[in-house]
Amino acid sequence: MSLKGFSVPLSPEGRATLTPLPPWFYSGDLLVVDFEARPEVVAAVLPPWLEPDSADPGGCTAFFADWQYASETGEERLDPVRSQYREFILLVNAGYAGRPVSTCPYMYVDKDSSLARGWIQGWPKKLADVCITRAAPLQSPAAPRVEPGALFAGTLSANGRRLADASVTLEKVSENPVYLGSRTILNVRYFPQLAGGAQARPAVHELVRSILSGAQRTEVWEGQASLTFFPAPDQELDVFQPQRIRRGYRYSAAFRVDDLEVVERLV
Amino acid sequence: MSLKGFSVPLSPEGRATLTPLPPWFYSGDLLVVDFEARPEVVAAVLPPWLEPDSADPGGCTAFFADWQYASETGEERLDPVRSQYREFILLVNAGYAGRPVSTCPYMYVDKDSSLARGWIQGWPKKLADVCITRAAPLQSPAAPRVEPGALFAGTLSANGRRLADASVTLEKVSENPVYLGSRTILNVRYFPQLAGGAQARPAVHELVRSILSGAQRTEVWEGQASLTFFPAPDQELDVFQPQRIRRGYRYSAAFRVDDLEVVERLV
Amino acid sequence: MSLKGFSVPLSPEGRATLTPLPPWFYSGDLLVVDFEARPEVVAAVLPPWLEPDSADPGGCTAFFADWQYASETGEERLDPVRSQYREFILLVNAGYAGRPVSTCPYMYVDKDSSLARGWIQGWPKKLADVCITRAAPLQSPAAPRVEPGALFAGTLSANGRRLADASVTLEKVSENPVYLGSRTILNVRYFPQLAGGAQARPAVHELVRSILSGAQRTEVWEGQASLTFFPAPDQELDVFQPQRIRRGYRYSAAFRVDDLEVVERLV
Amino acid sequence: MSLKGFSVPLSPEGRATLTPLPPWFYSGDLLVVDFEARPEVVAAVLPPWLEPDSADPGGCTAFFADWQYASETGEERLDPVRSQYREFILLVNAGYAGRPVSTCPYMYVDKDSSLARGWIQGWPKKLADVCITRAAPLQSPAAPRVEPGALFAGTLSANGRRLADASVTLEKVSENPVYLGSRTILNVRYFPQLAGGAQARPAVHELVRSILSGAQRTEVWEGQASLTFFPAPDQELDVFQPQRIRRGYRYSAAFRVDDLEVVERLV
């Protein structure tokens, strides 16, 4: 077959594919709220290969991220509608082979190409609207600078319902920050089998780890944070309602995704 | 594992899943343009198991569809934002084992749950905005009734670019209509393997056929039609620019999807 | 000045205008919930020229409407993205010169051209997402036919928050229905004056009545209904939380708007 | 009347209004392309009180702007969906009383509250999707830093059609930049009269100037630029197709709008 591309749709020129092969380049701003949910709520979303984190069984982190992306050709830079997207990531603590890790039970994004890359890497993305305060270089009541007292907010909505509201008020540069990747992330790559129905084993069901390079971070600022989840009939985020908010963070990051490691495989 | 659901995300209650298991119920209105593209353009998108349709090698059909969906619980009926979606389907003629079939190289939809069901069934959906004239029961310059002379239009746009414009002017009830399913549809279910990069074989690569039941159609009206494709850097639809428009159709349909048959499997 | 058009932007050809002059043609489906709010809540939104309806001071009606529109040229029919829009209308009872009327305190729509026509006619529209179950001609769990037992739902969301959910279960053709226009509607046409700030009198502040012709309705079906409003920081709909739901209705309508009558003028 | 608010809808608490009274605070990033259109195209969009700029009759500037906004209460900072919006502004050269000015024939924005503030100030906004490359602090192929060689792009789409594409490649800090406000801007505040139809004089038709304070700018970078307009049936932007591109600019700005001055009044 001479069809080209990495994801569907494969096509003669490979331009129609939702995503080409890595490397995938990312640059973005992240608003982070580290918090504790009820440990049984965290335990209930762990995939087969992971156990609760005995040292911190209710530990969770919510990320609101405002990304720009480019493939190796970089053509997305001339068409920012294809480069830009925003997402919400919930990571929960887990243990794997005695080591502390994180895993992502729920994730939301506002662009199909990012949803496709997510599924391919084990991020269980659905579509949603995510909004995140942007930092500005000039002082104004309309936008914060990155400085003590600055207020950053993040919101998540899907199917016309608000799912999460968060805020972080910056205090200082953090000496021991929580950031995306501060714990190893093991996700579940999953693709169902329809033929055979409920009895069928999934076509893909494996524990994976993304292989990144070139990770950079700005200073991470920290401060007091708030986070509230709201119920929706087609979501299960609200059971993670924070029992205790630990700390909020705000920083910028850049990295590339190169490959994926399959850690465990069920099928 | 006690996680429930059929697609990602799996969750404790199974409410968060983008789609539960079939049966999936559909009811919708379809605007159809049957046309001829250049045969080499059709041949270039055929997957490995299919050959050109020697009797009609350039035959293609474009569908603009306005759907309502329900799962077995029917809960979507109380929340139409989760029930309603619109899509564009391009089917091209092919041959399989000497018999005429159709296959879908490109498809677009405006809802994540339908995109998920599509990928699971071998429909290579991307996100887009689809608009389709609705029929009305009262006479008005603002909306057509289903009657001779009525004008129905369909449009497709993605990432802020118009990709297709179509129109059908109804003449009469068709005696030999082209409709969704008037030829057997064989699609490619495909899910890539990221681990290992360009050398990796896809995780799922198979020729499939959806198993439907309870298919109903209203009378199918036919008439003169127009269809134009426009170029975009991230799409390859415009090479299908019609060489000849055959006929347009308009009707309503309902059916359920029950299961999937794997016809050929590469991996 | 040779600039053409009716609303902004005026332009050399008049094609850029958000709306040309009437006649404006409309055809649509309406889901209606007639209910009672607290009378003081209704009284609090009445404009200067209107008094409470002494016979039914808490009477309100919520409309979820799925429209197609055409101007006199009818060019929108070939580009349904410009023809179609959905809206939510809250009408409240009032009295004017001793006669029962309705007035619209809050209204939401999903298209700029309709927002412009609304402001010009005294409908105080804001942008929102409105979803409404569509009727289908075929029997399916995915969509109702217009028949006893059929369930229709409507939802309203703005800025990522659900503002209203409604449903109507059809019982029978109504002999005494509530529909859009079953009471005279008097609205406030209002456009503020910025020069001079808080002390400035509005540039336009008048009580108006739309002049329609050619109004048609299908049979109006009625049945049991539900309606719930939800709070939001930038909305005041939820104070209208129904104290009693009277009845729900569902029908299709078509009409044209020809002109506007100024009933009272403050400035 | 005890109804509160500045624009529609007026309401008991004043929370529902699309916009409160100024001061209005803005902070944003701007991508600017200064260019020449055919002088007769510019002359054709000038309002009654303005004449062509004899020194530079084809001079035009396109702005792609990514804003955050706050009212005096600043409550939008906790709900960024209400604070953030993006817009496209076309300014054309004109003369008024012998002095060089600019005026805005066409403008597009993606949020209703900004559209309302625009109409109130004489900016003839319609809804559209605007995308603009964001600057990042870290080096990455995915996003530019503000430095020589950095590529920034802007796009404009409405009703599913691409209307404009632009890019600026930064070279150096500009010594004589074109920025929003580098020429006095006189706009037409216009609100039509529907009562009486085509014979009616508009309700508001005046030449106005916004009164700002606290204007700040970062360094303005300049570089080579591109700008292309595309046709659409409901737009007239494409007649401004650049005959010559002068220069592109990129900077951040903050200011507040306090009031409006009426310079000339027709009605």
pLDDT tens-digit series, residues B114-160: 999 999 999 999 999 999 999 999 999 999 999 999 999 999 999 99
B201's CB contacts (< 8 A; 6+ apart) are: B193, B266, B267
Determine the pLDDT at residue B267.
66
pLDDT, tens digit, 9 for 90 and up, residues C77-116: 999 999 999 999 999 999 999 999 999 999 999 999 999 9
pLDDT averaged over chain D?
97
Closest approach of B101 to chain D, Cα-based (Å) = 33
Residues C121 and C260: beta-carbon distance below 8 Å: yes
CA distance D154 to D89: 12
What is the structure's pLDDT at A186?
98
**Over 90: is that where the pLDDT of C62 sits?**
yes
SS3 A44: helix
C153 and A CB contact within 8 Å: no
Q: What is the mean pLDDT of the segment spanning C67-71?
A: 98
CA atoms within 13 A on the CB side of D260: 27
Element (H, E) at B81: helix B80-83
Task: Answer yes or no: do B197 and A8 touch at CB < 8 A.
Answer: no
Contacts of C255 (CB under 8 A, 6+ apart): C25, C26, C212, C213, C214, C215, C216
The full set of domain ranges for chain C reads 24-186+217-259
| Cβ–Cβ contact D15 with C under 8 A | yes
Could you say which residues of chain A have pLDDT below 70? 1, 267
Digit-coded pLDDT (tens) for D57-85: 999 999 999 999 999 999 999 999 999 99
Neighbours of chain C (3+ CB pairs under 8 A): A, B, D
Give percent of chain B with pLDDT exceeding 70.
99
For the stretch A168-214, pLDDT in tens is 999 999 999 999 999 999 999 999 999 987 788 999 999 999 999 99
Q: Are D29 and D42 in contact (CB under 8 A)?
A: no
CA distance B6 to B259: 13
Once rounded to an integer, what is the mean pLDDT over residues B98-112? 98
Task: Please name the residues in contact with A40: beta carbons below 8 A apart, sequence gap of 6 or more.
Answer: none
Residue C1, pLDDT above cutoff 70: no
The closest alpha carbon to A126, from B74, B15, B76, belongs to B15
- Asked if D213 has any chain C CB less than 8 Å from its own CB, the reply is no
Average pLDDT of the residues in C211-227: 98
| Residue type present at position B115 | L
Answer whether residue B89 shows pLDDT above 80: yes
Q: What is the mean pLDDT of chain B?
A: 97
d(CA A37, CA A41): 7
DSSP letters along A56-124, please? STTEEEEEEEEEEEE-SS-GGGG-HHHHEEEEEEEEEEEEETTEEEEEEEEEEES-HHHHHHHHHHT--
Say what the pLDDT of residue D197 is: 78
Confidence (pLDDT) at D73? 94
pLDDT surpasses 70 at D1? no
Contact at 8 Å (CB) between A197 and B259?
yes
The Cα–Cα gap between D62 and D241 comes to: 11
Nearest CA distance, C128 vs chain A (angstrom): 9
What's the pLDDT score for residue B224?
98
Measure in Å the smallest separation between the Cα of A151 and chain D Cα atoms: 8
Q: What part of C 59-98 touches B (C-beta under 8 Å)?
A: 66-70, 74, 77-81, 83-84
Q: What is the mean pLDDT of residues C168-183?
A: 98
With a CB cutoff of 8 Å and minimum separation 6, the contacts of C183 are C91, C93, C100, C101, C102
Read off the pLDDT of residues D85-117 as tens digits, 9 standing for 90 and up: 999 999 999 999 999 999 999 999 999 999 999
Q: What is the pLDDT of residue B266?
A: 82
Q: What is the mean pLDDT of chain C?
A: 97
pLDDT band for C138, please (50, 70, 90 cuts): very high
CA distance C74 to C80: 11
Instruction: Give the pLDDT of residue A77.
Output: 93
- % of chain A residues with pLDDT over 90: 96
Count of CA atoms in the C-beta half-sphere (13 A) of C248: 22
Strand B84-96 to B99-109 pairing: antiparallel
Give me the mean pLDDT over the B254-259 stretch: 98
pLDDT of residue A267: 65
Name the nearest CA neighbour of A130 among A140, A144, A115.
A115
The second-level CATH assignment, the architecture, of D24-186+217-259 is Beta Barrel (2.40)
ipTM for the assembly: 0.97
Would you call D54 an interface residue with chain A, using a CB distance cutoff of 8 Å? no
- Counting as contact any 3 or more CB pairs under 8 A, the partners of A are B, C, D
Instruction: Give the H/E segment covering residue A208.
Output: strand A204-217
